[in-house]
Amino acid sequence: ELRVLCGEKKMKGHQPEIAIIDSNTLSCMGLQALLEEIIPMVTIRVFHSFGELVDDTPDMYAHYFVSAQIYFEHTNFFRERHPRAIVLAGGENLPQLAGIPTLNIYQDEKTLVKSILQMHQHGHHGKKHPHTVNQETIHDLSAREIEVLVLITKGLINKEIAEKLNISLTTVISHRKNITEKLGIKSVPGLTIYAVMNGYVEADNI
């Protein structure tokens, strides 16, 4: 418990960090690339074994994405860090773990993003969590920019957003530019992550 508190103190004022613990290099690279795109404000660290994680500062991480094999070999460590530990599994043979978040890494990108967001919401129950990504820097979006952001996360294109809000296409493009500049996030998955984590949309609605 004390070590966890120390880890939380260490993280304050710094970017949140996420650990990926998996011996499969390709899985690590793929997940790291996806997380860096959709959550650009966090630092991702990759460990190919549990030993590498322990040699680092194992309690400092906001989340642990860990392969099923490593999870089962070191269950006590990760159970103590519930719900920050997320088990990586592939294909149809997902392990049955009561109350443990499990992520199928063989889903398509959009489904994978949605799964990660739903886990985040489920894990924190909408409360302000000391490790929650981007809570330290709330950006001042206008009410109209928030409306545009929400419609972007729902997959609407600029023309559809203009029609829905009864504004011009030029105005929509201007709002999108402002949103991107204020948040420093260009990709739709990244904007979706931001919108969910700041309570503008529910993960189930994307």
pLDDT tens track for 61-95: 988 999 988 998 998 998 888 778 888 877 555 55
Q: What is the pLDDT of residue 50?
A: 96
User: Is the model more confident about 93 or about 105?
Assistant: 105
Q: How far apart are CA 89 and CA 54, in angstroms?
A: 22
Question: For residue 74, what is the DSSP state?
Answer: T
Q: How far apart are CA 118 and CA 11, in angstroms?
A: 23
Q: How far apart are CA 180 and CA 174, in angstroms?
A: 10
Q: How far apart are CA 1 and CA 159, in angstroms?
A: 52
Question: For residue 42, what is the DSSP state?
Answer: S
Q: What is the pLDDT of residue 145?
A: 94
Q: Express as a percent the part of the chain with pLDDT over 70.
A: 77
Looking at this protein, which amino acid is placed at residue 183? L
Which H or E element spans position 178? Answer: helix 169-183
- What number is the average pLDDT over the span 142-169? 94
**Are 115 and 107 within 8 A, CB to CB?**
yes
Task: Report the mean per-residue pLDDT for the chain.
Answer: 78
- What number is the average pLDDT over the span 125-143? 50
Q: How far apart are CA 205 and CA 114, in angstroms?
A: 9
pTM for the model: 0.59
Q: What is the pLDDT of residue 10?
A: 42
Query: pLDDT at residue 134 above 50?
Result: no
Q: What is the pLDDT of residue 107?
A: 78
Q: What is the pLDDT of residue 96?
A: 59
Q: How far apart are CA 86 and CA 198, in angstroms?
A: 21
**Are 175 and 148 within 8 A, CB to CB?**
yes
